[in-house]
């Protein structure tokens, strides 16, 4: 694993989040009962929403037609249909950057990493702890996805993962294996 390689990917994701993907959708806001913010977003997005009454009409129409469950479309529709193509492309790009943050390196080489950095636990016990933290974070993600906005989870998660990577590198450089292990576990939890 190349030290510092994931950092540019975090920065690119954060830059995209603050520029291109900088707000939640009106549908998401309506489903979260956040009507004032949804009305603001509708006013920004729709050119025919010049008055609060027109924004209200669009919001009513959206709320009536929004699916409360996940939509089911085919792979062909996702990549070939004009309605879904741009969203599918952005999602694939974000997913690629997300995977390049070195999660696979940590999971696949955890024994080697834990052996090299030392610390108060054996590599085998460390691998067990990593598995347990992965399991716990997966369970927590089910609840956090409903409690927080996607934007908050995306920015907060990637910011924390970036700080965790910096902490891992720093603690390895100064020879503090125990703190490096804690930083690895924080990274895995936020992933």
Largest CA distance in the chain: 65
Query: Coil, strand, or helix at residue 114?
Result: helix
In a domain, 39, yes or no: no
In a domain, 115, yes or no: yes
Q: What is the pLDDT of residue 179?
A: 93
In a domain, 131, yes or no: yes
In a domain, 83, yes or no: no
Residue 102 DSSP code: S
pLDDT in single tens digits along all 191 residues of the chain: 455 566 677 677 777 777 766 677 888 788 878 888 888 888 888 877 778 888 888 888 887 777 665 556 777 888 888 888 888 888 888 777 777 766 777 788 888 888 888 888 898 898 889 888 988 988 888 888 878 888 888 888 888 988 998 898 899 899 898 999 999 999 989 88
Domain residue limits at 184 = 101-191
Alpha helices in 32-109 (DSSP H): 35-45, 52-65, 75-80, 82-99, 103-108
Note the pTM of the prediction, 2 decimals: 0.58
In a domain, 187, yes or no: yes
In a domain, 46, yes or no: no
In a domain, 64, yes or no: no
| Domain at 169, CATH number | 1.20.1250.20
HEC letters along 144-169: HHHHCCHHHHHHHHHHHHHHHHHHHH
In a domain, 3, yes or no: no
Distance CA 150, CA 143 (A): 12
Number of domains in the chain: 1
């Amino acid at each position: 694993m190349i030290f510092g390689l994931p950092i540019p990917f975090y920065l690119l994701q954060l830059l995209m989040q603050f520029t291109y993907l900088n707000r939640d959708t009106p549908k998401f806001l309506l489903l979260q009962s956040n009507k004032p913010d949804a009305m603001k977003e509708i006013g920004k997005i729709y050119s025919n929403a010049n008055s609060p009454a027109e924004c209200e009409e669009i919001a009513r129409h959206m709320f009536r037609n929004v699916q409360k469950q996940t939509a089911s479309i085919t792979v062909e529709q996702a990549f070939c249909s004009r309605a879904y193509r741009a969203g599918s492309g952005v999602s694939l790009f974000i997913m690629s950057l997300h995977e390049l943050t070195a999660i696979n390196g940590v999971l696949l080489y955890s024994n080697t990493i834990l052996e090299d950095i030392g610390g108060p636990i054996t590599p085998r016990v460390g691998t067990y702890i990593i598995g347990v933290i992965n399991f716990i974070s997966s369970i927590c993600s089910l609840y956090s996805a409903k409690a927080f906005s996607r934007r908050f989870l995306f920015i907060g998660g990637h910011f924390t993962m970036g700080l965790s990577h910096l902490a891992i590198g720093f603690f390895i450089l100064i020879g503090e294996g125990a703190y490096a292990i804690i930083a690895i576990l924080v990274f895995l939890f936020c992933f």
